[in-house]
Structure 1
Amino acid sequence: MTRVREPQRYTVDVHRPDDFEEFWAATLQQVAAVPLRPSFDYVPERSTEEIAVYDVHYDSWEGVRISGWFAVPRPEYLPPPYPALMMLPGYISEPTVPKHWAKQGYAAFAVAPRGKLRSNQLFNPGYPGLLVENIVDPNTYGYRGFYVDAVRAVETALTRPEVDADRVGLSGSSQGGALTITTAALLPDVIKCGAAGAPYLCGFMDSAKLTHSYPYEEMNEYLRVHPDHEQQMAETVGYYDGVNFAPNIRASMFVYIGLEDDVCPPETGFAVYDAMKCEKELHTYERCGHDAGLHWVLPKVDDFLAGHLKPGAAGEGK
C-alpha cells in the first residue's frame, strides 16, 4: 500500500541551544565593531530614464567586502522617500539588478552574500560546499557570516537618505526564504514584513533524511565520510535553524511552500511557520515542487509586500 505523504502532520525535531540568544547577540555585537564603509557607485549603462542603478559594497563579518545591486526610482519619476525591499538570493543563484521592483516604487537592494561571484574574495567554499563549510563548529560555520551579510545589507540600505526606515521588507525563496526568516528575527525592530518561499535551512537534520536532493545531500555525503560527526553537526546547525529564529520575528510574514518539494521538504516549511508567533499567513500548493507555486503565488506576494510597504505612498511610513 502506497503511503500518503502528510507533511503537515510530520514532527520536525530541532535542537535549540541553551545559549542561542546569547550567541547571536554576541555575533551582532562583534560585527558592529566592523565599520560598514558603504559605497554606492552609479552605473549609467544599467540605469534607465526612470530608474537609477548603483553597484553597492559594504564590509561585514570578519571584514569580508560584500556586494549588491541597488535600484531606486529617479525623484522626477517618483518622489522619495521609498520603502526598502531587500531581495535575498537562492543557494546557487546570483542576484540580478532589481529594476522591476524599483519601477514599482521600491528602493530595491539585491544582496550578494559571501561566496557569490562578486563577494568571494575571502570566502569561496563553492556549490556544493557552502552548506557543510565548518559545519561541526558553530563559531566558524560558513553561514554565520552569511546571515550577518544579510543583516548588514539592511543597515547599508538604511544609510540612503531616500529610504524610509519605517518601511523595510524582505523577500526571497529557498535560501532567500531562509535569509528572510533569519534577518527578520535578527532585526525585529527594523523589518516590517517578509515573504519567504520554500524556506531552506529549516529543520536541517530532518531535511537531510527526508530528501536526497542537493543542497541537503551535502550533509549526507559529509556524514558518509565522517559518521562520528553527526552529533557535532546537529549541535552546530541548532544555532542556524530557521525554526529557532522564527519565534523572534515581529514582522508580518507570508510563507509559501510546494507540497511536493524534494529540495526543501514541506514538512520543514510547516514547522517554521508553526514556530512563528507574529502575524502570518501560509500558502500551500499541491503538485508543486521547489517552485512553491510560483505562477500562482507571485501576484499574492506582490500584494502582500505592497500592502505593508506602500510603494508610491511617499512619507506614509513616517
Structure 2
Amino acid sequence: MDMLVDWPLERLRDYLPDRDEPADFDEFWADTVQQAREVGTPALFEPYDARLSTMEVYDVTFSGFAGQPVRGWFLIPAHLDGRLPCVVTYIGYGGGRGLPHEWLTWGAAGYAHLVMDTRGQGSNGYFVGDTPDPDPVGLPHTPGFMTRGLTDPQSYYYRRVFTDAVRAVDAAREHPRVDPDRVVVTGASQGGGITLAVAGLVDGLAAVLPDVPFLCHYRRATEITDAMPYQELVTYLKTHRGDVDAAFRTLGYFDGVNFATRATAPTLFSVALMDAVCPPSTVFAAYNHYAATDKDITVWPYNGHEGGAGWQFPRQVELLRRVLG
C-alpha cells in the first residue's frame, strides 16, 4: 500500500545531515579521472541507421575507466544546424542504453543527446546493454552491483561507473556539433546518483537534472528501507558482520551528498514522498547540501519511485530555456 515513507515535508526541507567524507576524497577522484583521461582515445561516432527520418543517430564508443570501451547513443535533430546544447543521460539501475528510438524526447526538444550505457548492466528486462565490465572483483558479493568490491574504494564497482560518466561528458564535448559550454547531465534513480557524481567532478556544466536520485546518504537508506537495491547492502552486511566499517568508509567516496557539496551548476531535483526505493530524506540530504544557489526541487507528494515521470520533463526544459537561452 502506498504511504508516506519518511519524515514530513517540513522536516525534510531542513534536513542537513553531517557528511561522512574521507579525508582524501578529492585526491582519490582527481587521480582516478586523470588516469582515465591519460589512457583514453578519441570517441568514435559511427552513423547508425535507426530508421528515424527526423534524427541523426550515431553508435558511440568512448574510453571510460582505465581506457575501457563504453558504448552509447548520440542523437541529434536532423533539421538543426550549428553547435547545439547537449544533454547527457545516465540510466536507472539494471538498465542499458537500449535502442535509439527509445531516446527521442531530448532530440525532439532541440538538443543533442548522448545516452551512456552502464557497464555490466542492461539485462533486467527493459533497456538492453552492450558494455561489459572487464574488472569483476572475485570477492564475495550480494547479487546485483551495490556490493561489488565494496570493502575497497579502488575496486568498488561505482568507481568505474562514475569515471565512465565523466568521460561521457568529455566525449560529448568532443563532438563538433556540441557546444562544450552547454552540456547538461541528467538521469533518474541510479542515473540521478550518477548525475550528482558528475556534477561534483566536472567543471563548467550548464545544468544538472537528477530525478529521484539513488546512491545518496547510504547509511540512512539502509536503516529506513527494506526495498532493493539498498537492501543489497543490508544483505551483505548482515552476512559479512565484520565489514561494516570498511563498507561505509568505501561508500563515503561514492555518496551523492559529498558530490553535491562540490556541485555549482544550476539544478532541478525531483523527489517523491512515497518512494521506498530512494527515501525522501536521502534525496533531501543531497539537495540541501548541493552548493549552487540556483537550485530547486520538485516534490511529488503521492508518487513512489516513478516520481514525476513524464510530468518532470517540462519543468526540466523550462530550466534549460532559462539557463541556456
Which residue identity lines up with residue 120 of structure 1 in the other structure?
A: P
Match of 2:255 among 214, 227, 241: 241
- The corresponding residue for 1:178 is 193
**Match status 1:58 vs 2:72:** no
Contact kept in structure 1, 2:199 and 2:264, CA below 8 Å: yes
Alignment partner of 1:248: what SS?
coil
Contact kept in structure 2, 1:175 and 1:201, CA below 8 Å: yes
Match of 1:267 among 273, 281, 284: 281
Contact kept in structure 2, 1:150 and 1:183, CA below 8 Å: yes
**Match status 1:212 vs 2:234:** no
- The corresponding residue for 1:118 is 130
Using a 3 Å threshold, how does the CA distance of structure 1 residues 262 and 298 change in structure 2: closer, same or farther?
same
Structure 1 residue 159: deviation in Å?
1.3
- The corresponding residue for 2:88 is 86
Structure 1 residue 47: deviation in Å?
4.4
What does the per-residue CA deviation read over 1:105-151, in whole Å, with 9 as the maximum and x for residues that have no partner?
11100111311321115256899421111111011111001001011
Match of 2:152 among 137, 144, 151: 137
What does the per-residue CA deviation read over 1:65-107, in whole Å, with 9 as the maximum and x for residues that have no partner?
1000000122xx1112111110110111222422332132111
Which residue identity lines up with residue 279 of structure 2 in the other structure?
A: P
Structure 1 residue 297: deviation in Å?
2.5
Alignment partner of 1:83: what SS?
strand
Contact kept in structure 1, 2:95 and 2:118, CA below 8 Å: no
Contact kept in structure 1, 2:151 and 2:246, CA below 8 Å: yes
Which residue identity lines up with residue 249 of structure 2 in the other structure?
A: E
Distance 1:4 1:94 in 2: 30
Distance 1:70 1:137 in 2: 34
Distance 2:151 2:186 in 1: 29
Contact kept in structure 1, 2:216 and 2:257, CA below 8 Å: yes
Using a 3 Å threshold, how does the CA distance of structure 1 residues 87 and 306 change in structure 2: closer, same or farther?
farther
Q: Which moved more, 1:98-107 or 1:130-139?
A: 98-107
Contact kept in structure 1, 2:221 and 2:278, CA below 8 Å: yes
**What is the TM-score of this pair, normalised by structure 2?**
0.88
Contact kept in structure 2, 1:34 and 1:60, CA below 8 Å: no
Which residue identity lines up with residue 81 of structure 1 in the other structure?
A: R
Match of 2:161 among 146, 152, 157: 146
- The corresponding residue for 1:73 is 77
Distance 1:52 1:14 in 2: 44
Contact kept in structure 1, 2:219 and 2:248, CA below 8 Å: yes
- The corresponding residue for 2:235 is 221
Which residue identity lines up with residue 300 of structure 1 in the other structure?
A: R
Alignment partner of 1:239: what SS?
helix
Q: Percent identity?
A: 32
Distance 1:147 1:24 in 2: 10
Using a 3 Å threshold, how does the CA distance of structure 1 residues 124 and 72 change in structure 2: closer, same or farther?
farther
Distance 1:183 1:121 in 2: 20
**Runs of 5+ in structure 1 lacking a partner?**
311-318
**Runs of 5+ in structure 2 lacking a partner?**
122-128
Structure 1 residue 10: deviation in Å?
5.5
Distance 1:307 1:10 in 2: 28
Distance 1:154 1:103 in 2: 21
